[in-house]
Amino acid sequence: MDAADLASRRVGFIGGGAMAEALLRGLVRQIPAANLLAADIMPARRDWLHNELGIAVTADNRQVCRQSDIVVLAVKPQVFEPVLSGIREDLTSRHLLISIVAGVPLSRLEALLLPGVPLVRVMPNTPALIGLGASALAGGSNAQGEHLLMAQAVLAAAGVAEVVSESYLDAVTGLSGSGPAYVYLFIEAMIDAGVREGLPRDLARKLTLQTVIGAAEMVRQTGNHPAVERDKVTSPGGTTIAGVEALEAGGLRAACYAAVSAATRRSRELGGSK
């Protein structure tokens, strides 16, 4: 599916929270605002989405289904069952349902749908707000290749989107779905560390942000393993190896393993699996 095909589709969102906003911000650059619709239970949130993004809004989830070709389910895991039950009769085989409900597997979603509804489960992340999202998606039993391409196009409007086996999605949630928070925490710690060593906070912030951006871009552009780039700046007996030693002694690597594992486990719990 190319940009022209996507632009001709009507895309509706059920739930207008942060992740829906992130995807909508990407989509408004490719789809006419008249083809976008978002439902939310909060009047203030509806007003904000309308005023900020120029899209139509509603409090009626069923209206979203009636007026859309692609429906994005963007609600909390705790409420997806009553929400889906409320729109069951409005979703048919002509629709594509994209679920970004964290942790909820395709089997649980499909059990609440009429037979034949194409379904794609997605795990996006919030950098989609600035077009730098990382998403993974998996198709349900009625999703054909065209549906996966359609879902991929929706997600690619706000970053990178990869088709994967559903068995990967809880780990994707723990890694890239929750991952921005880990990076923010690292950035915060780096800034504070610079301040502790006597740097003005504004300078520590500017240097930290550029260092993180530059290091990530180096790995992306070169295609090298991160260890290769690390070795390039780690001279024998120098300052960098002293810092790396302190990070290893402090358990940075183990903490990363534990964070991704904990978030993956929580994703499974939210989805009702072990």
pLDDT digits (tens, 9 = 90+) for 28-76: 988 899 999 999 999 999 999 999 999 999 999 999 999 999 999 999 9
Measure the CA angle with vertex 80, ends 256 and 132; round to 5°: 45
186/250 Cα distance (integer angstroms):
13
CATH number of the domain enclosing 100? 3.40.50.720
Q: Indicate whether 137 and 255 sit together in one domain.
A: no
- Residue that finishes a domain, picked among 121, 148, 168: 168
Question: What beta strand segments (E) does the chain contain?
Answer: 11-14, 36-39, 56-58, 70-73, 96-99, 119-123, 133-139, 159-163
- Which residues lie below 8 Å from residue 122, measured CB to CB, with a gap of 6+? 98, 99, 100, 135, 136, 137, 151, 155, 161
At residue 1 the predicted structure's pLDDT band, cuts being 50, 70 and 90, is: low
Mean pLDDT in residue range 135-158 = 94
At residue 80 the predicted structure's pLDDT band, cuts being 50, 70 and 90, is: very high
Does residue 2 register a pLDDT over 60?
no
pLDDT for 232 = 95
pTM of the model: 0.85
- Residue that finishes a domain, picked among 136, 168, 200: 168
- Residue that finishes a domain, picked among 118, 142, 168: 168
Structural domain boundaries enclosing 89: 3-168
58/69 Cα distance (integer angstroms):
16
Mean pLDDT in residue range 127-152 = 93
Domain count, the chain: 2
Q: Are 125 and 179 in contact (CB under 8 A)?
A: yes
168/264 Cα distance (integer angstroms):
10
